Structure 1
Amino acid sequence: MAAGSFTVGWRQVAASVITLALTALITGSYSILAVPLGEEFQPSRMVLMLAMTLVSAVSAVLSPIIGKWLDRADLRIAAGLGAALLAAGYVAISFAPSFNVVLALYGLLIAPASTLLGPLAATVLLSRWFVKRRGTALGIAIAGIAGGNFLFPPLIQAMLGEHEWRTALQLVAVMVLVLGTTAAALIVNRPAERGLYPDGADAEPDSADANPNAAHIPTRTIIGDPSFWLIGIVVATVTAGLKGMVTNLGSMANDVGIDRQAGAALLSMYAVSGFVSKLAFATFSDRIRPHLTMIGSLIGYGCGTLVMAFAADSYVTLVTGVCLMGFFGGMMMPMESYLVPRLFGREVAGRVGGLLNLLLLSFLLVSPPLFGFIFDRTGSYAVIFMVFTGLAVVSMALVRFIRTEPRRPSLDGAAAS
Structure 2
Amino acid sequence: MTQISPPSAPAAGDLPAPPADRPRLGVHRAWAVAAITFVTIIGAAAFASLPGLLIDPLHTEFGWSRGMIGFAVSVNLALYGLTAPFAAALMDRFGIRRVVAGALLIIAVGSALTVRMTQSWQLVVCWGVLVGLGSGSMALAFAATVTNRWFEARRGLVTGILTAGGAAGQLVFLPLLSWITEHHGWRPAALTVAVAAVAVVPFVWFLLRDHPADVGLAPYGAARFVPKPPPVVGAAGRTLRALREAARTSTFWLLAGTFAICGASTNGLVKTHFVPAAHDHGLPVTTAASLLAVIGVFDIAGTVASGWFTDRLSPRRLLAIYYGLRGLSLMFLPVLLGDSIHPPMVLFIVFYGLDWVATVPPTIALCREHYGDSGAIVFGWVLAAHQIGAAAVAYLGGVVRDTFGSYDLVWYSAGALCAIAALMSLVIRRRPVAVPALAVVG
Do the two structures share a fold, i.e. TM-score over 0.5?
yes
Equivalent residue number for residue 226 of structure 1:
250
Deviations 1:58-77 (A, max 9, x none): 23443343332223321001
* Structure richer in helix, relative to its length: 1
Instruction: Give 2:367's match in structure 1, choosing from 340, 351, 359.
Output: 340
The within-5 A match list for 1:7-86 is 7-86=28-107
Does the 8 Å contact 2:370/2:436 carry over to 1?
Answer: no
Instruction: Give 1:143's match in structure 2, choosing from 150, 153, 164.
Output: 164
Alignment of 1:251 with 2:251, yes or no, is: no
Deviations 1:268-315 (A, max 9, x none): 121112111112123322112212321221222122111113234464
CA distance in 1, matches of 2:365, 2:436: 18
The within-5 A match list for 1:6-405 is 6-203=27-224, 219-243=243-267, 244-313=269-338, 315-316=341-342, 317-346=344-373, 348-405=374-431
CA distance in 1, matches of 2:302, 2:295: 11
The amino acid across from 2:170 in the alignment is N
CA distance in 2, matches of 1:369, 1:70: 31
The amino acid across from 1:284 in the alignment is F
CA distance in 2, matches of 1:360, 1:172: 23
Does the 8 Å contact 2:78/2:387 carry over to 1?
Answer: yes
Does the 8 Å contact 2:323/2:422 carry over to 1?
Answer: yes
Q: What are the ranges of 5 or more consecutive residues in structure 2 without an aligned counterpart? A: 1-21, 227-237
CA distance in 1, matches of 2:349, 2:51: 16
CA distance in 1, matches of 2:213, 2:174: 39
Aligned CA distance change for structure 1 residues 373 and 324 (closer, same or farther; 3 Å)? farther
For normalisation by structure 2, the TM-score amounts to 0.84
SS of 1:94's equivalent? helix
Shifted more, 247-256 versus 23-32: the winner is: 23-32
Equivalent residue number for residue 231 of structure 2:
none
CA distance in 2, matches of 1:218, 1:75: 19
CA distance in 2, matches of 1:391, 1:86: 32
Shifted more, 242-251 versus 34-43: the winner is: 34-43
- Give the drift of 1:6: 4.7
CA distance in 1, matches of 2:124, 2:244: 34
Please report the RMSD computed on the Cα atoms of aligned residues, expressed in angstroms.
2.6
For normalisation by structure 1, the TM-score amounts to 0.89
- Give the drift of 1:202: 4.0
The amino acid across from 1:176 in the alignment is A
Does the 8 Å contact 2:283/2:338 carry over to 1?
Answer: no
The amino acid across from 2:259 in the alignment is V
CA distance in 2, matches of 1:404, 1:220: 22
Deviations 1:332-369 (A, max 9, x none): 133333332232123x2343123223322221221112
Aligned CA distance change for structure 1 residues 381 and 343 (closer, same or farther; 3 Å)? same
The amino acid across from 2:383 in the alignment is N
Aligned CA distance change for structure 1 residues 379 and 107 (closer, same or farther; 3 Å)? closer
The amino acid across from 2:281 in the alignment is V
**Across the two proteins, how many residue pairs are aligned to each other?**
405
SS of 2:435's equivalent? helix
- Give the drift of 1:262: 0.7
Q: What are the ranges of 5 or more consecutive residues in structure 1 without an aligned counterpart? A: 206-214
Does the 8 Å contact 1:310/1:382 carry over to 2?
Answer: no
CA distance in 1, matches of 2:86, 2:295: 32
CA distance in 2, matches of 1:160, 1:415: 47
Equivalent residue number for residue 209 of structure 1:
none
SS of 2:117's equivalent? coil
